[in-house]
Amino acid sequence: MVSPLGNGLAAFWTGLVGGRSAIAPIRRFRADDLDPANAAEVTGEEGQEPDRAGAFAVGAAMEALDSARLDPGMVDPARLGVALGTTLGGMQIFEGWDVATAAGDAPPPRLERVPYFATAARVAGAIGARGPVVTTQLACASGTEALAIAADWVRAGRADVVLAGGSDLLCRFVVAGFNALHATADRARPFDRARRGLVLGEGAALLVIEEAGHAARRGAPVKARVLGTGAAGDAVHMTAPDRDGGGVVRAVRAALADAGIAPSAVEFVSAHGTGTPFNDAMEARALVRLFGERTLPVNSIKGAIGHTLGAAGAFEAALCAETLARGVVPPTAGLEEVDPECAGLDLVRGEARACDVRVALSTSSGFAGANAALLLGRA
């Protein structure tokens, strides 16, 4: 991954476990007229390219392949795929085009060749994939849906290996848009009594989804198993979620049915947890409806890296895989006093908690009532 906590999985994990937050005033573009003007930005060389979303994704893909000890040349190119979620694609590039045109300057070269699906296509080109390639757009559930599609391809025999996840970037367009919705705050405080809104983030997270027999034959270091996936729509409002979490409940139940397991088997939830008043209350109600008020550790990573939009679910999937492998649940950065509306959850805060987790759930929710759920099991 490429994250605001630093490039690579190790930096991401160390930052999360330490309760660190990468949220700070925006530095990369002019933000003096934006209010709020905080975000979680990626630093380093990937953040300097014109096609930042593509650079994030390729950087994450290379680390994923290295971690999986997988040389793309070991896979039949026709059975190597890419599934990548995004909400913005090349938006920053088109912003640059508009600025250049308004100033009477020539736009940077080759921008006309960076369409919305370019991020997935760039990853496919970088690894030599000639199998199925798709860009998912399910708002902030895009990364989770990309992982679900990848798992479906492998199950159906369409691919042996799929690089799947999400990549998104920060730009003036998206920050101004969320500010206009009055959905943002200076600090992300998931499930906290004083939460006021989300803070945006950026980056990319990709995972190697591989057919079990194919992985076994090459001695792959397996971190987790995809048990089940699910998706559901609220059909309530263009931006606000179903206040009772109906879509989340249906998505999780679909994932449980896909996995063939009962709710009692789930031992950890990586919640969407945006830090907005409506989302967190809705999600808390949904999780209590699903699991009851039992001791089930729950956290959110958005107080640490912000809301990374189309990449959010992929970051959560990586977190779940690490929790399954390490037996540790990171705390929720920004959470100080649990909102009474969320009191039915066992929210991990303050410091990391040792947990023997065998099944982990990640939930994602997005605009237009898009909801997705991913169940991972210990390897």
As annotated, the active-site residues are: 140, 272, 307
66 Rama sector, left if φ>0, alpha if ψ -120 to 50, beta otherwise: alpha
* Residues 11 and 3: beta-carbon distance below 8 Å: yes
How many residues are there in the chain?
Answer: 379
Concatenated DSSP letters for 141-179?
THHHHHHHHHHHHHHHTS-SEEEEEEEE---HHHHHHHH
